[in-house]
Amino acid sequence: MKKTLNLLLVSLVTVVAILFYSQSEAKAVPAPILKSAVIDQVSNVDGKWESVPYNAQPLYKANAVMHDYVYFRVTTDGYSNNYIYSGSTMITTYATNYKSIPIVGADNIVTGWRRYYRVPVENLVTNSIQVWSSSQVGTTKIWTNIINFDVE
């Protein structure tokens, strides 16, 4: 009897949720094609961020001296898979994407992402970071700017 009552209650909640679901909360639209990707912030300690000036592209020398980790933010216009490089070596397996914030455009549609990464300094091949972004739709592939830094 108790199992039957629980099953009926779950069924009722499911039906009510389906009937009263607001169509304005979610829109099924195609994912936008990748248009741009840039490393626009870097830090040696999470929370003390250094903005990378747009006119410093394609190469930027960070003011902060890196210690245990390099923190950086990749901002994309469009949907992408990001691959982290140090010099010409892919080090994506050592990178942690610890925070992702959607960029919301008109009509509450996600148009891009701000993704925060952390890479241990010990896994770097050179004292630089660059990201290769590959579009999740279409064939767009973009290299970001290169961030150089000193390691202590």
- What is the domain count for the chain? 1
Question: Is 79 a domain residue?
Answer: yes
Is residue 75 domain-resident? yes
Domain presence at residue 118 = yes
Model-level pTM? 0.79
Q: Which residue ranges of the chain lie beneath pLDDT 50? A: 19, 22-24
Which residues does 141 contact at the CB level (< 8 Å), separation at least 6?
A: 132, 133, 134, 135
**pLDDT value at residue 35:** 95
| Residues β-bridged to residue 60 | 147
The CATH number of the domain holding residue 58 is 2.60.40.2870
pLDDT digits (tens, 9 = 90+) for 120-132: 999 999 999 999 9
> How far is residue 146 from each of residues 2, 92, 129, 152, measured CA to CA in Å?
62, 15, 6, 19
Task: Determine, yes or no, domain membership for 19.
Answer: no
